Amino acid sequence: MTQSLVQAQLADYISACEFRPFEYPVDQSVLRIFTIHTQHEFPKPIIELSKALEQQLAEITEVDQAGSVQQLYVLNHSQSHLLIYEGSLLKGAKQNRVVNATLLLPPVSKNTIPASCVEQGRWHYSSRSFSTSDHHSPQFLRKSIRRNVSASKNLMGNQSEVWSEIRRYALYKQVSNLSSDFEDIYTRSSKTESLFPVGLQLPPCHGVFLNVREHCSMDFVANQEAFMHLQARLIAGYEQQAQRESKALVSEENPVNKVVIPNRAKAIP
């Protein structure tokens, strides 16, 4: 199947989805939210990664004892397809990672998946396997990885670009640490809720479309339960993006802060 045919089928599928306005108590010129709904769910059982790890139905480790920066080993013990969503942050093993692409792994399978390092200064074991972070990657990091995956025509992306994005984020947050760890920078930085000042809890849905100051982003899973399990972490990632974008609007002359929220997330089956 050609890429153009896949894109056409995806466009038809999204066009058939229902986008429902979600009222939120902020100026609509700043933020508009739409929940996404479909009647055509993926026909087979899906389990989202963090739920599978919690229930010990999946395990993520280094590919071997020595490790490989841009590859991880995944065991899916479940009878369901394992959803690993683009931008998922993984903690532990020899260094923290971010998943480069959306993957749907077969039931009861062993797989090697693409990842990027988000902790440049550590290369030793803190745990045998990985766990998921409480928040998702912000859009600026996801966009950078997606752009480089597309340019390289494989799923490995460009590791140096990821490290550059994290250094810029650390400068913006005015936080540093010895291992340049994205997770630690986020955890120790101040968190003013600029996008969702009263929090955000979406109703049951398959996805969300955000228009933030005319910059649009979208996340969608053709399985309602899986998306709702992702929701809280995705929202935390949107908030990180909005905080950085707000500072960019205040001081546009500073190139470190110039960030644009990308178009919808690209899922790679």
pLDDT tens by residue, 229-240? 999 999 999 988
Same structural domain, 66 and 184: yes
Percentage, residues of the chain above pLDDT 70: 88
Q: Is the pLDDT of residue 171 over 60?
A: yes
For residue 7, tell me if it sits in a domain.
Answer: no
Q: What is the DSSP letter of 202?
A: P
Both tokens of 138, joined, read 């912000």
| Strand 46-48 with 81-84, pairing | parallel
Q: Look at residue 191 in the predicted model and tell me its pLDDT.
A: 62
Q: Look at residue 240 in the predicted model and tell me its pLDDT.
A: 85
Same structural domain, 140 and 221: no
For residue 177, tell me if it sits in a domain.
Answer: yes
Percentage, residues of the chain above pLDDT 90: 68
Q: Look at residue 255 in the predicted model and tell me its pLDDT.
A: 40
Average confidence score pLDDT of the chain: 87
Q: Look at residue 186 in the predicted model and tell me its pLDDT.
A: 85
Question: Exposed/middle/buried for 16, CB within 10 Å: 0-12, 13-18, 19+?
Answer: exposed
Same structural domain, 60 and 122: yes
**What three-state secondary structure class fits 120?**
coil
Domain span at residue 30 reads: 15-42+194-252
Q: Model confidence at 187, in pLDDT bands (50, 70, 90)?
A: confident
Q: Look at residue 128 in the predicted model and tell me its pLDDT.
A: 96
Q: Is the pLDDT of residue 21 over 60?
A: yes
**Number of independent structural domains in the chain:** 2
What backbone phi and psi angles, to 5 degrees, belong to 116?
-130, 150
Neighbours of 209 (CB within 10 A): 21
Q: Look at residue 214 in the predicted model and tell me its pLDDT.
A: 86
Contact between 78 and 108 (Cβ < 8 Å) = yes
Q: Model confidence at 246, in pLDDT bands (50, 70, 90)?
A: low
Quote the CA–CA distance of 114 and 166 in Å, as a whole number: 18
Same structural domain, 142 and 160: yes
pLDDT in tens, 112-150: 999 999 999 999 999 999 999 999 999 999 999 999 998
Both tokens of 33, joined, read 């939210």
Neighbours of 188 (CB within 10 A): 12
Average confidence (pLDDT) over 235-263: 56
What backbone phi and psi angles, to 5 degrees, belong to 206?
-105, -10
The residue that leads in pLDDT, 249 or 239, is 239
Q: Is the pLDDT of residue 247 over 80?
A: no
For residue 65, tell me if it sits in a domain.
Answer: yes
Q: Which residue's entry shows tokens 């089956």?
A: 269
pLDDT in tens, 71-126: 999 999 999 999 999 999 999 999 999 999 999 999 999 999 999 999 999 999 99
For residue 210, tell me if it sits in a domain.
Answer: yes
Same structural domain, 86 and 184: yes
For residue 267, tell me if it sits in a domain.
Answer: no
Q: Look at residue 266 in the predicted model and tell me its pLDDT.
A: 34
